[in-house]
Structure 1
Amino acid sequence: MRLLKRRQRPLLLTLIVVLGSLWMLSLLSCSKAGKDPASPLRYRQFEYTDDDGSPEKACNCSAILRGDREALEQAKLLTLTKDFHKSVRIPDEYYINAAQDCRKFKISRKYLTVPLSQEEVDFPLAYSMVVHHKVQNFERLLRVIYTPQNFYCVHVDKKSEASVISAIEAITSCFSNVFMVSQAVSVVYSAWPRVQADLNCMADLYNASTKWKYFINLCGQDFPLKTNLEIIRILRSLQGGNSLESETMPPEKRWRVANAHHIADGQIQPSGKTKGPPPFNLPVLSGNAYIVVNRGYIRSVLEDNRILALIEWAKDTYSPDEFLWATIQRMPGVPGSMWPNSKYDITDTNAIARLVKWEWHEGSQGSPMAVYPECQGNHVRGICVYGAGDLQWMLEQHHLFANKFDTDTDPIAVYCLEKYLRQKALAELY
C-alpha cells in the first residue's frame, strides 16, 4: 500500500470493498437456496452427454421436446428399425454381472450418489415399486428417481422369471436405501394380491425410517415428469394433504364391490356370492392404484381399526386397488383426508399422482369432448404407451408421474425424458 500513489489508495480500497461485498452476497444467495457454492463442479460427473455412447443419441431430444416435426419423424423411423431396438435393449444378464461391482455400476449408470441440495435432504420420500418384468424399464426408472436420502421398497412378483428376480436383486443390493420387500406375493391383477404387494412395501418403508414425509407408489412402467426438487416443492405446497383420484363410484362399477370374487387358476373370478355392506357403513369411492400420501395416511392404513376392517372386507372384491385408497382418503380422521361429500371428488386429471391417457378419452385438437390429445405411441388394454411425440404435451401437465412407458416400443421417449430431467436437476444447482 505504501508503494501506491496517494490518489490510487481510495480507488483500490473501494474496489476491495465492492469485490468483498459481491463475494459475500454470492455466499448468502447460495446459503439461502440451501446449495453448496461449489456444487456445479462437483456434479459434472452426473451429466448425460452424447459421449456416453447411448444409441438413442442419434435423435435430437431438444427438438423432440419442442415438438419439431422433422425430429419426431426421425425418432419414429428409428423406433421402427429392428437394428436400433436391438442396439438399445439391455439384457437382464448385464445387470446381474454389472452389479457385482457396485461402485463401477453406479458410476457407469450415473446414479446421483450425493444429495443435490439441503432442501431435498430435509424432505425425504418413500417409494413402493411393484414390478414383474422389463428390468431395463425398472432400472431406468430407479436411476431417474434415485437420491441417497429417499427410501425405495421393490416388490417383484413371485411369478416373475428367474432372470428378472436375480437382476433386480443385484441392482438393489448396491444401495443401502433400496431394498426388496420382506414378503413378496404372487400378484394377480384386478385381485387382492395387487394391493397386498403395496401394503407389504408400506409396512417395510414405515418401519425402515421415521424421516420420510410422503409415500408414492409406482409400477415398472411409470416415469417421472418432475425432478426430485420439483416433486418435494409440490408436496410441500399440499401442506400435509394427499393427492389421489377419489370420486363417487359410477353405477357401472358397483358390481365390483357388490359381488364376491376369488382367485382360480391364477385369475380372478366371481364366486356367485353377494357381499354385505362395507364396515361402519363407509361410503365406497372410486379411484385408482396410484397415490401420493403423507406418512400419517400410511400409519392409518397399518393401524386404524376402521381401515383394517375395510381391508378384510375388500379382499374378495374385484379390482380393490381402484377403490380402497380412494375410500380411505375420504375417511374422517385420516391425515390429509377430505370429506366424503361429492363436492370434494377428485378425478385422475386433477390429482397429481399419475398422468394416464385412456384411449376413449383421447381426441383431436379442438374436440370439445376430448380430455387429452391422441396418443403418439400405441395402446395396451386401452392405455397409451407413450411415444416421443407425447413428451411436449406431457411436460406441460402438473402430474408428478406418467404411465405407461416401454423401452421395448419407444426407447427414445424414455431416453429424452430421462435426459431432460437430469439436465434440469443439475441446472437447478446454478
Structure 2
Amino acid sequence: MKYMAMYDWMETVRNTNQWLGASARALTSYPATAAMPNPMLDWVRAWGEVTERSFSRMTVKPDWDIAHFTNAKGQDRLVEPRVVMARDFGDLLHFHIPGRKKKRHKVLLAAPMSGHYATLLRSTVLSLLPDCEVYITDWHNARDIPVSAGKFDVEDYTLYLADFMRELGPETHVVAVCQPVPLALAATAYLAQENPDAQPASLTLIGGPVDPDANPTDVTDFGHSVSMGQLHETMIQRVGFKYKGVGRKVYPGLLQLSSFISMNLEKHAAAFGDQIARVARDEAGDHDKHNVFYDEYLAVMDMTAEFYLSTVERIFKEREIARNCFTVNSTKVDISKITDVAVKIVEGENDDISGPGQCLAALDLLTGLPDAKKASHLEPGAGHYGIFAGRKWRENIRPLVIDFMASNARTTSTDAANSNSAA
C-alpha cells in the first residue's frame, strides 16, 4: 500500500502544480488587473500559463496530429490512423492513405517503450509516408491496463513484435528505434526458428543497446551501478485508485520524467525561464518551438515493473542479447539463425544514450548472414534524436534507409504493379 500511496502522492503534486498554474493565470487575467499595468503581474500570468500547460501535459497521450502530408507531386493526401491488431499492452497501427494504391515498401516502426509514447516518432512517420505503407507499435500506458491483463516483460514485448511481423508478412521492412533494437533482433531470430516464412525482408536498427558494454554511457553505467533490489525498492510503485490499472506494479512515468530532466537540469530550467519571459512579452504561441518540443517530452507513460526490471537485468546487466543467450518461453533464441534478412545499423557519432558501437555489435552476432546483406552507417555529428528525427534523419539517413529497403525488397506481382503508381 505504501507504493500505491506514493503513486497517488506524485499525482497529487502534479495536479496541485497544474491547479496553481491555472489559478495564477486566472487571477492575473481579470479585467481589473489591466487597469494596473505591472510587469510583475505579467510575469505571474506567464508563469501560470507555462506551469499549467506543462503539468497538464504529463498525463495526456499526445495526438498523432498527422492529418495529411504532401507527396512528391505537391498533392495533399489525407492520413487516417487505423488499428490493425488490438492487444492489451499495445496496438499495431497503420497510417492509411485513402485513395492511394499500396506503396511498395511496407514499414513496421518498432517504437520505444521507454517513458514516452510512440508519438515521439511522429516526424519519422511523416517522413516515411510519401514512399511507404507505415505501421507502428502503439504501446499503451500501463496505468490504464487492468491487472487482469497479466504481465508484460521483455519476452512478451518480443512476442508482440513477432506477432506484428507475422501479421504484416515477409515483405515487411522493420525499423527499430533505440530501446526495441535488441528485442527486434531477437524477434526476427525467433521467427527464423519458429516461422521462417514470416521473417521480414529487412531490419534497420537505429541507435539501440545490443551490447551496452561496447561503448558505455551514463545510461549503461547506471544499469551496472545499482542492484535489482535497489531498483525495485526505489523505482517501482503500484498504480493508484484514479486509473484502471489500480494495483499494477509500474515504473511511473512521472518518476521517469524526473530522471530525464535531472540529466540536463540546467538546460531545461533555462528553457522554461526563457519561455516564461516570451509569454510575458506576448511573443509565444501554441505551436512555437518550445511548446512543440515539451508537449511531447513531458507526456510520459508508466511502464510495467516487469518490463523495466527485466530490461535492466537481462539486456544491460546480463547482456543476454550481446551474449546470444536470450530466451523466450524457455526457448533459446539463436541470432545466428537469421540467414536471409538484410540488416542495416544506424548510429550517431555523438549519441550519449546508445553510444556508437552498441548497435553495431549486432552484425557480429549475425554469423549466419552473408556480408552482402549487412550494412552500417555512422552519422557524423548526430546525437541520439538526430538519427531518427530532424534534418540529419531527413536529408542523410532516411534516403539511405529507403535505398536499403529497395535493394532488399521481396516483391510480389501486386507490389510490382503498384510500385509505379501515383503517390
Normalised by the size of structure 1, how large is the TM-score? 0.30
Greater RCO (CA < 8 Å, at least 6 residues apart):
2
Normalised by the size of structure 2, how large is the TM-score? 0.30
